[in-house]
Structure 1
């Protein structure tokens, strides 16, 4: 059974984020300042995160996920903003035959609207995933480990 206290929620979030940050090189001297620079969080928020005391505001999740090498949706689930079933129920466009390759380009916001994503959390999640997908592809070393950081834990 999971701990239903706010501290338990923070503990579960940090159990995912802190090892990922460590694996991404945010350890040792200067790592706190690098994380401040890479995520836009202030120093006290980064300090409380690294000490396992606080979950940062959701607006920092895309940058935090990028720094930690995690999927932003994983952070939303870890912070209990989205239910765990959300990750399990996701399908790719090719799995449900809704791909419209060659139909012209649209903005991510237009895509969210076209997919019927109208709530703020849903839009944030969708746009964060789009940004993650637009980022540079993983190094060859990452290709040898297709499970990703979260799968190694």
Structure 2
């Protein structure tokens, strides 16, 4: 089982501890219910004081808008906040940031766009060549190795 309630609770508690440390380091006084740090951070971040309180208590927060505001207020990458909050795992983040070549297939037109080929004739030639290469399988030798064309 990937995510259990206990795992979610532990993750939310670790996130709360991390957030408390981050806010304290930035000068927000969280020493008591009337210390003003929670309200001051809420005002600074644009997150409601009740939501800041829930995060600091260890309640799981899944609203990505709130987490985006938190990332912006702390000057941290949103991706790091999403991992810390348990929305995605570090492995999932890595797969998104660095997809394996087989995970991302694009059309010849998309490749032309990404390569900045804007001239109409050059685009037609590029797209045609890419489509031809996609249809053409290189010849193989009898032992299954690919042959390199003679030059």
Structure with higher Rg: it is: 2
The structure with higher relative contact order (CA 8 Å, sep 6+) is 1
